Amino acid sequence: MENKAELSSLSAHTKLIPCGCKAELSSLSAHTKLMPSGGKIRLALIAGGKSGEREVSLAGAQEVEKALSREKYEVRRYDPATDLAQLVMDAAQIDMAFILLHGPLGEDGTMQGFLDLLEIPYQGAGVLGSALAMDKNLAKIIYRQVGLTVAAWEMARLTDQTNPRRLLERLSLPVVIKPIRQGSSLGMSLARSEEELAQGLVKAFAYDSEVMVEQYVQGREITGGVLGNNELIALPIVEIIPGEEYAFFDYDAKYKKGASKEVCPAELSAELTARAQEIALAAHRALQLKGYSRTDMIVAADGIYVLETNTIPGMTPTSLLPQAAAVHGLPFAALLDRLIELALVEK
C-alpha cells in the first residue's frame, strides 16, 4: 500500500483540484513575456520523428497547430526525421519549441538535450525527468522508493524467450510483458500461459533491448494529469474502459475510434479521487518533472498501483490530459497557452 505520510506531505506544497472543479489558473503575465519584442512568439512545433508513434505525433501536431492562436504565435513545423539541420540553422529566430514527439528520440530526453544545446526553451520535462520517466524499470524503482505501490516485476533476459520458467518462479500468471522504452503500448502483451509469455518476450525484444515482465493487476485503469512547474495542480481523474474485445488498453484500444470509453471525472469516491491525485503529484515530483505529466494507474482491491508516467501525453482535444484539463475549466487552446507560459517562465 502507498506510504500515506509521504503522500500527505505533498498537500502543503500542492493544490488538489476536485473532479469537475473549474478553478482558474493563476496568471504568469507578471513573470513572463508572452509577446517577445512586441510581436508573436516564434514557435517551433516539433513532430513526427522516427519512433513507432510517428503517426500519433503527426496527428497531434495537426490538432495543436489548428488550436494555436495566429494572433499570438508564428508556428514553424519541424520533423526530426528530416529537419534537424534546418532547426539548427533557424535556432536564433525561434523563441520556444513545442515538442510533440512520443517514444524514443523524442520523449526520452534526447530532443530535450538537443534543444538545450541550441538554447531553445520547450514545454515539459527536461533531460533527466524525460529519461527517467521513459525507462519503465528505473521509474518503478523510483516510485517504490517514494512509497508508491507498483506491481512486482522482473527484467527479462534474451534466453527467457526460449525458456521463460525462470520468470514464472518469481511471478505468477497472468503477466504483462513490456519493452521498457516504448509508448502507446507498442510491443506490449498480456500472457496467461508459459507459451504466451515466450511469444510476448519475442515480440517485446523486437522493440527494445530491455524488456520487463510485470505481475498483472486486475482493476480499473485511471490516469491523473498534473500541471505546473513549482506550484502543481492535480487535474480531474480520467477512467479508461477498453472495449470487451481488448485484454488491456493496447495500441488499437488507445487510437481506434470507439474502441475505448473514457469517463472524466472518473466515477470514484472522494477518498479514492484524492488519493489518485496525490499519487499523480508524487510521481511527477519523484521523476523530477515540470510543466505537465500524466500518470497511469490501476485501482485494485488492495489499493492504487502506479503503471507509468507520460511526460509528453497525447495532445488532441480528445486525448486524456486535454479531456481532464477541459473538465477543470481549461479548453484545448487555453491548455496550450498555459504549457507555453510554463516553458517561457523557465527561460
Q: Are strands 291-300 and 260-263 parallel, antiparallel or unpaired?
A: unpaired
Long-range contacts made by residues 127-130, C-beta under 8 angstroms, separation at least 24? 128/288, 129/287, 129/288, 129/289, 129/290, 129/311, 130/311
Catalytic residue among 2, 48, 51, 53: 53
The yes-or-no answer on residue 252 being catalytic is: no
- Could you write out the DSSP letters of every residue in 248-281? SS-HHHHHSTTSEEEESS----HHHHHHHHHHHH
The yes-or-no answer on residue 305 being catalytic is: no
CB atoms within 10 A of CB 323: 23
The yes-or-no answer on residue 48 being catalytic is: no
Catalytic residue among 314, 337, 338, 341: 314
The yes-or-no answer on residue 116 being catalytic is: no
CB atoms within 10 A of CB 50: 15
The yes-or-no answer on residue 69 being catalytic is: no
Give 286's DSSP letter.
H
Answer whether 298's CB lies under 8 Å from 219's CB.
Answer: yes
Catalytic residue among 310, 319, 338, 341: 310
Give, in order, the Cα–Cα distances in Å from 117 to each of 59, 91, 96, 269, 315: 27, 10, 13, 46, 25
The yes-or-no answer on residue 78 being catalytic is: no
Catalytic residue among 77, 113, 208, 255: 255
Q: Give Cα 140 to chain centroid, integer Å.
A: 14
Element (H, E) at 7: helix 4-8
The yes-or-no answer on residue 209 being catalytic is: no
Catalytic residue among 135, 239, 250, 308: 308
List residues bridging with 99 in a β-sheet: 46
The yes-or-no answer on residue 269 being catalytic is: no
For CA atoms 234, 257, 221, 169, the dihedral sign is negative
- Could you write out the DSSP letters of every residue in 88-129? HHHGGG-SEEEEE--STTTSSSHHHHHHHHHT--BSS--HHH
Catalytic residue among 51, 57, 184, 319: 184
Going by C-alpha positions, the residue among 210, 224, 219 that lies closest to residue 137 is 210
Residue type, 149: T
The whole-angstrom separation of Cα 79 and Cα 24 is: 34
Catalytic residue among 60, 294, 305, 319: 294
Catalytic residue among 95, 108, 154, 296: 296
The four Cα atoms 83, 84, 86, 89 give a dihedral, to 10 degrees, of 170
Which residues participate in catalysis according to the annotation?
A: 53, 184, 255, 294, 296, 308, 310, 314
